[in-house]
Chain A
Amino acid sequence: MSAPYRTEAGGRIDRSRTLNFTFDGARMQGVQGDTLASALLANGVHLMGRSFKYHRPRGVLSAGSDEPNALVAVRRDDARYTPNLRATEVELYEGLQAESQNRWPSLRLDVGASARLLAPFLAAGFYYKTFMWPRKAWDRFYEPFIRAAAGLGKAPTQADPDRYASRYAHCDVLVIGSGPAGLAAALTAAASGARVMLCDEQAELGGSLLTDQGALIDGQPTHAWLADALSTLAALPNVTLLPRTAAFGYFAHNLIGLNQRLTEHLPTAQATGVRERMWSVRATEVAICAGALERPLVFPGNDRPGVLLAGAARTYLNRYGVTPGRRVAIVAGCDGAYRTALDLHAAGVTLAVIADVRPAADGPLLRAARAAGLIVRAGMTVTGTGGARRVTSVSLAPVRADGSVGGVSETIPCDAVLMSGGYTPSVHLFSQSRGKVVWDDALKTYVPGASVERERSAGACRGSFGLAAALADGANAGAEAARAAGFDVAPKTFAAEATEASADSVIGALPQPASTKTGEAFVDWQNDVTVKDLHLAAREGFRSIEHIKRYTTTGMATDQGKTSNLNALGVVSHALGAPMAEIGLTTFRMPYTPVTFGSLAGVSRGDLFEPVRATAIHDWAVEHGAVFEDVGAWKRARYFPKAGEDMHAAVARECLAVRSACGIFDASTLGKIELIGPDAAVFMNRMYVNAWTKLSVGKCRYGLLLGEDGFIVDDGVVGRIAEDRFHITTTTGGAARVLAKMEDYLQTEWPELKVWATSTTEQWAVIALQGPKARLILEGLVESVDLSPEALPHMSVVEARICGVTTRLFRVSFSGELGFEVNVPAEYGRAVWEAIWAAGRPHGLLPYGTEAMHVLRAEKGFIIVGQETDGTVTPDDVGLGWAIGKAKPDFVGKRSLARPAMSAPNRKQLVGIFTDDPALVLEDGVQIVAAPGQPTPKRLIGHITSSYPSAALGRSLALALVQGGRARMGETLYAATAEGDVPVRVTAPVFYDPDGARVNG
């Protein structure tokens, strides 16, 4: 046996299956069932990490997810490199490569440890004090130095190649934690027929039963009972068992986040499936059976490798077959520590000393230890430990009846110190559920108070300590939860035979001689917070535990103060002379244990991060070399460059084609709503600013939609298909918003109206043909409809057929040219597009994209909602006051428009802008000033909303919103560019064909 600290027999490991692994390159062996921590301990390795601030050598403290010290990185390859894993949770597999963190050049020789020499400068709140001056040194020196010196672990350097799953789940009863309480709860709830989920963060279900030895449940040894209970549960169809699954967050309405590790424990060759699964569980009822966390004792040198929790040592012994040393000192602050003493004694480990730090040391287990012949020295304290990278001795001194420490310290050689101050209920999830914890004076701890969510705590996590109590409490909780979820069941009963520990425990720092320095008595291992730091905070006037937490950083590390919170409270309580109950507890934040980004992202990665919407004509655009832009979730063709063309050249060519011949444009993304019902016109009159009553069937009108604040929210052409039927178009981005707004008004304001709105955005593919030859091209394709200007003038709509399918053919224009928009059912979209394309090519038809569309409309001064408007723009501001139906009694936004400020003459109004330099294209958003050369802050009187080079004009043009702009025609103003103030001339916002002759062609 190569592992010197492995016992001959016992534990839940398979000694016949040897596993090779490396730690910082050193080759070692463990066995199947080991964690990295237990395997290292079996090899006599306690030094597993360096502390965060002082780089002190640290050994493993615990055996579970509460571990603050033994943070390691596990490497499978450059992409699969996971930092900050707790060695106590890393399951050993063949070939595992682990690395220590926060050290250089090596774990044993860490240059950063010289930080200890700086410790006087690194006291609580040091970053508020030490590095304050000079100010400039912060960015260049202090912060980089601190960031380099501190920090836990390194991020992987490559993209994560693994697959992660996300899943919603529902159950009647979710049981969190599979110790005796959790199992009793699950067995009871499952018997009711309720759907039960049982999760536990550990690799094996069983919680404390995995460590227990000697107790009996229903006459069976605990391990045998556990195996039976688990096989019973596994066989039930209404039960889902989730090992390796941490309940990390308790969200509103009983939504619990579970993180399941699926392949972390497998050798790399087998770790090919989904790596982690994120469960979002909506539970009708929850039973929190999270157990309790063992509390360290606070004394100088309590962080030396080899000093660990007594209960953790018992877990290593009983579950993993590992002894923490050969000559072990035990420091008991509670009766439970004697279980460890008894089990180690039985395993043949030498107990160098057993010291009890309680003033009145007694309890059933202590008595059992004495009965077993062990010598207990009561009324002691620990004044220090010896050793460098491993503890070599412990120093003890007697405590007098008055609490002072007297006599000479006695130094006892040992190779491990096992301590236990008692157990702290794990109230994290309860606290996350917004429940308030209450101080229990008998138990000397915080326990869950009244429930806010539909949950109850059971077992040690609410202070029901001991095997019998946990089983009974769990069974009651399981029955209560099942009944609350609508099932009928009585609590199962379990007969437990075990020696139960007494309840007294120790909180806060152990008494010390006056001369003892408390700067090495650690309270929070992970954030390197000592008794001295907490005393300093109290001395400096901090009273609130929330402030002390932030000042000292106690409880703020990735372990969320699992081992440290109550001791910190005890130290603060002592320093302030205030009882614990008055100090209060800080809030527990999620996650309970760290969750990987991969698991949080789940399936929402890459192409599946968000929906990517494509039109029926998208693939044609791809095949024709389109460059796309994102418009909301849509991909829209921005321009169609020919070989060697940049965007500017392509857009100029596309614009000229529309002005001189014809362009074809995919307008399918425009929002479309079919509004039907006898009250359709009434509804339109109330929603939109325009007057609709007199709009004839077959005619279209430009509709403008305001918010109740009177500002423009959307626009679009609306066609009247029948007396009771409108075809509404909206902006691409506004489609969902407008439909929701209509539904909102119909359901809440005007439920009496007989009218219904249905989205038809995706029903229709919309092919825009714009240009003087548009009619010529379409005439050959559209059947039996007269396209002449007389029969189908600008702003009309007709039902027709094209290529054998029905079309709603609109004569509309967003370019200022003769234009049609061919609406066909989407699945015919591409075929019709290709037919038009084929028919149009001889006439010079070209495809154009959104960029050319923008230029063409800007040349005509047509606004784009969201570009010329920003939620503060009225119809009159952008010259659309004419659209308002003046005679209408009301419409959405009408009342707001009547406010004097909405028609003030100095409001920003839409104007055209010409730069003096015709080649200069201003940036969108550039501010306008009246006079050049003003000192900052300049007086800003407007801004550019759109700006393009215009091929039709042979120069640049811009639209702008300028204060009192319409009264400034011809004035010279200045655009405040990064290069300086540039003179510009105010002009009318219609640059091309101002009389509109072309659109009526």
Chain B
Amino acid sequence: MADLTPLTRAAPPAPKSPCLTNAPTADRLLLRGDREVMAAAGAAFGLTLPTLACRAVAVADVAALWLGPDEELLILADGAAPAAMVRLANALIGQPHSLVDISHRQTGLGISGPHAEAMLAVGCPLDLHLSKFPIGMNTRTVFAKTEIVLWRTGPDAFRIEVWRSFRAYVLGLLEEASHEFTP
């Protein structure tokens, strides 16, 4: 038998700009199903999954992001996915749904500071003004030539979820954009 020393998840290097951070290593589940599924799933976590389009709810160590009428992205603590999947499977017995572990599919990036909106505007064509993209809003959108999930977590703070192989591209653009503000 091989060496059974537990493997640790490879983490990407820290961003160069002080406005950018790697989100803590997290587990992620993608849940698909109808409204009843979402209600039951929320109950299993003790929260109400967002029913309003493009809104996220976050409690202590679970965040649920509305991605579509039948699609929620759940962001959990590192290592929490297996137990959560069991919990959800039990809560959803007999209810058609899809639950997929995508913990490693994507990574999280934090963008914060007074220039966060302007930095994101280098690649995101959405109106990110606080009145149009309030705290708690999230959406799947484009960032230059790739796709991201963008989530506003504070007045000057956003989180990007991006597929792992596109991270370098997104980060590169954001770091390039940060030069406008930190010459």
Contacts and interface: CB of A to CB of B under 8 A. Distances in A.
Interface of A: 163, 165-170, 195, 272-274, 277, 280, 282, 603-604, 607-608, 610-616, 633-634, 674, 676-678, 754-756, 758-764, 780-781, 783, 802-805, 825-832, 835, 839
A212 B8 CA distance: 72
A165 B122 contact: yes
Interface string B89-130: 000000011111111111000000000001001111111010
Contacts of B165: 611, 613-615, 633-634, 762
B160 to A, nearest CB: 14
A582 B54 CA distance: 53
Given A762-B163, A831-B10, A677 B96 contact: yes
Interface in B144-181: 144-146, 163-166, 168-169, 172-173, 176-177, 179-180
Contacts of A758: 30, 32, 98, 100, 102
A664 to B, nearest CB: 16
Given A170-B132, A603-B173, A780-B1, A760 B100 contact: yes
Contacts of A826: 104-105, 164
A676 B98 CA distance: 5
Interface in B70-90: 70
Contacts of A273: 180, 183
Contact of B180 (A274, A756, A829): A274
Contacts of B180: 165, 273-274, 277
Nearest to A613: B165
B3 interface: yes
Given A165-B122, A831-B7, A825 B172 contact: no
Contacts of A802: 2
A612 to B, nearest CB: 7
Given A825-B104, A830-B10, A170 B129 contact: yes
B4 interface: yes
6 contacts: A612-B168, A615-B165, A676-B98, A762-B163, A804-B4, A832-B7
Given A195-B129, A280-B125, A760-B102, 9 more contacts: A168-B123, A273-B183, A607-B172, A615-B165, A674-B100, A756-B70, A761-B163, A804-B6, A830-B10
* Secondary structure class of chain B's binding surface, majority of residues: loop
Contact of A167 (B9, B33, B118): B118
A634 B169 CA distance: 12
Contacts of B32: 676, 756, 758
Given A166-B122, A758-B98, A274 B7 contact: no
Contacts of A604: 144-145
Contacts of B166: 611, 613
A763 B102 contact: yes
Contacts of B173: 603, 608
A763 B169 contact: no
Nearest to B143: A611
A678 B96 contact: yes
Contact of B105 (A277, A760, A831): A760
A762 B103 contact: no
Contact of A803 (B2, B70, B100, B176): B2
A827 B172 contact: no
Interface in B1-23: 1-7, 9-11
Contacts of B99: 676
A616 B165 CA distance: 8
A805 B7 contact: yes
Contacts of B6: 804
A163 B5 CA distance: 47
A759 B177 contact: no
B105 to A, nearest CB: 4
Given A168-B125, A612-B169, A614-B165, A163 B179 contact: yes
B117 to A, nearest CB: 10
A274 B105 contact: no
B125 to A, nearest CB: 5
A781 B124 CA distance: 45
A280 to B, nearest CB: 7
A412 B132 CA distance: 66
Contact of A763 (B103, B118, B146): B103
The winner among B11, B70, B172 for most chain A CB atoms within 10 A is B172
A781 B125 CA distance: 48
Contacts of A272: 183
A622 to B, nearest CB: 14
B122 A827 contact: no
A827 B104 contact: yes
Nearest to A616: B10
B127 A616 contact: no
Q: Which of A282, A676, A756 has the most CB of B within 10 A?
A: A756
Nearest to A764: B104
B5 to A, nearest CB: 7
Contacts of B122: 165-168, 603
Contacts of B144: 603-604, 608
Given A604-B144, A611-B166, A762-B106, A167 B121 contact: yes
B2 A763 contact: no
